[in-house]
Each structure stands twice: as C-alpha cells, then as structure tokens.
Amino acid sequence: MKKIIAVALALVWVMADAGAARKPDIKCGPWVQNVNETEFTVLWTSSEKVFAWVEVAPDDGTAFESCARPRFYQTVSGRRVAGTDHIIKVSGLEPGKGYRYRIYGKVVKDDGNAYATHYGPARRSGIKGGGVIRTYDRNASGCRFVMLNDIHGKDDRYRALTKDIVADSIDFLLLNGDMVSYIGNMDSTLSHVFGTVPELVSDVPSVWVRGNHETRGREFHLMRRYAPTPTGEPYHLFRQGPVAVLVLDAGEDKPDGNAEYSGTADFDSYRTQQLGWLKLAVKDSLFTEAPVKLAVMHIPAIMKAGSWYGQKWVSAHFLPVLNEAGIDIMLSGHHHKHIYVEAGECGNAFPILANDDTDRLEFEADAKGYVIRTYNQDGEETSSYAGGSGE
C-alpha cells in the first residue's frame, strides 16, 4: 500500500496570538476533493471574509513549524483572493509520498481601498481528529471505498451508515447521488452532504456523483464549485490502484418537456455531449490499462418495460459504449431498493447493482477482481458479490 498524507485539518480556528480581534470560524468543512497522484483540493466555508492559504510539509516526522513550508492560495487569473468560499488546490506533489497540510487565514477587515487591504492577525487551524488522506496511486495493489446513495438529507441515516467506517481503511467515500432532495440553498446542501460527518470527509477524499434530484433547485448550478472534477463537469474519470472509475451523470429521469422542469431542462443535449466525452474517455490509458473497470451512475442503465425516460436514454446510448469498453460492473442507486441485474438481462454485458438507500456498499478490488458487500444501519451484511478473473 502507498504512503499516506497526514492531514492537519480543523473545523475551528485557533488564535495565533493573544490579540482581541474577532476570530473567524469555519462554517462548513473542510472536505477534500479532486485527488490524483500529484494534487488534491481542500475546501471549506467561513462565516466571514478570510484571506486563506494552505501550508504543506512532507510526512517525514519533522515538526511542522521547524522551517518555512510551501504556501498555496486560492487564485483567479494570477490574483490571490479572499472570500467565504475556500477552494485551494495543492499541487506539485509526488505519487506515493505523504504530505501534511494546515489551513491558515486572516479576517479581511477593510478591502475598500484598492491599494491597501487591512487584515486581522493570522491564525492557523486547530486539529480535530488528526485523520489521514491517501493520494491516489495507480500502482497500488488494491482499491477500497464505501458508497452511499439516496440519503435525501436524512442526517441520522447518513451518520448511522458511516459510524463503523475506519477512515484510514478506505481510499475514498463515494456519494452516488441524491444526498439531498434539491439544491435550493447551498449552505443547507453543504451541511447535509459534507457537514453531517465532518471527521470522515476531512480525513477521506469524497467523490460526489450527481443524482437527478440534485439537478433541481435554484442553486443547483453552484454545486460544481464545491465538488470540483478534472473535467469541470459532474462526469469524469479517475484511477486508484487497479480500478478505473468512470463517473457518469444521467441527468433527470423524465423527458425535458415535463411540466416539473418549467422549461428549464436540456438534458438530452447534455447527455449527448457527455456521450462524446465518454467515447474518448474509454480510450484513455488511465482506463484501458486498469485491470478492473467500474462505471458509476446514479440512475442505472437498466432497460425494462417500466423504466423511465432517463433510464432508457442512458441504456440506449451509454450502454453500447460501456459494453465495448469492457466494464466489469456498474454501481447505481435511484430506486431506493436493492436491485442486481445479471450481465445479459437487458442489453448489458456486465452486471448492474443499484444499492438500497438504507444500506452502505463496500467495494474492494485487486488486480484479479472485486468483492462487494452491503451493510444495513445496524452493521449487518445484507448482500455480497464477486467478479473478475479472481472470483
């Protein structure tokens, strides 16, 4: 297994001096997204406007403050910016090496003068939990993650399903759609998606997959800001160890002209655009050289008589590409019940598993194949599957 990134994170700001200036707080977060072999992004929100940065140190046992550490800022076209939304990319890292990072910030007291901004004293984050982050490594021998779906803002269920997760035993947390019922207010959405289990999402990279309900609400379009991806869209490709993960976005489940969308839907065009990307993604060496190939999509590509429009669309258009690409299994949700479709049942060359909304799914793979187990809120195993040449 690869080395770990030891992460010094916190949910509260600690005074760097004894000054009486007001103390900025972290309203939500931090959480870690968009991880690869040389980068990761840390995100959080604050109640006040803060000029923030992240400092990074090798995981070599030295005191963090023993020397000056590289600083990373949030920038826009060459300008370091302050704000209440903090999205800071740490780059230039080496695969398989461990790094520690800490969050620092200064409250912006007055930025009305274009030539002189006044700040409060600098403060660093305190440490809550002291967890770890693992960077992705295509040469790792295995891949293990936990998947949840269709939580719909039920925080008690979210906590119950994750209470047994040991952060340093998984590579990432996969949130496979409909974590909320709609995105009408971003503060509320972030609180449900990332604020419900703060110790977990600050210790483990999270991968947010858009569900059809998360296309709804007046602030739906802001979510991509808080769940950045390599493509800038909800669909993307990444690799961890032997597993290539194709994250797909089925969009809405009804036709664009449905009255519920009030004339705002254009998902046929969006899915067609995504299809063009998909045809190229399955030729990427990151995907083709992976021993295990996984597709993740909130709405499953199950073509049956009772399937709704969105499900039929992705079945008709995405399935042929995925079949040809040699996908091993698709993981989905959406139906709020456990559904397992064997390969060949409805035009699929691979099995499709739609997870129940009351279960967590645990996925583990090596170069020979994968094992999947699901567990209910009491920690009882509810199903298991295996696939690949090593099953």
> Residue 7: what pLDDT?
37
pLDDT computed for residue 10 by the predictor: 35
Low-confidence ranges of the chain (pLDDT < 70): 1-24, 125-132, 389-391
pLDDT of residue 23: 54
Sign of dihedral through CA atoms 181, 185, 189, 191? negative
Which among 27, 10, 24 has a CA at the least distance from the CA of 203? 10
Q: What is the DSSP letter of 81?
A: -
Per-residue confidence (pLDDT) for residue 277, from 0 to 100: 98
Cα 384 from Cα 373, distance rounded (Å)? 4
Cβ of 101: how many Cβ atoms within 10 Å? Answer: 25
Considering only CA atoms, which of 118, 106, 84 is closest in space to residue 23? 106
pLDDT attached to residue 20: 40
50-105 tens-digit pLDDT: 999 988 777 788 887 888 889 999 999 999 999 999 999 999 988 877 777 788 99
What's the rounded Cα separation, in Å, for the pair 105 and 70? 15
- Cα separation, 257 vs 50, in Å, equals 43
Cα–Cα nearest to 295, from 317, 327, 324, 320 = 327
**Considering the entire predicted model, what is its pTM?**
0.92
Look at residue 129 in the predicted model and tell me its pLDDT.
41
pLDDT of res. 60 = 81
Q: In this predicted structure, what is the pLDDT of residue 389?
A: 59
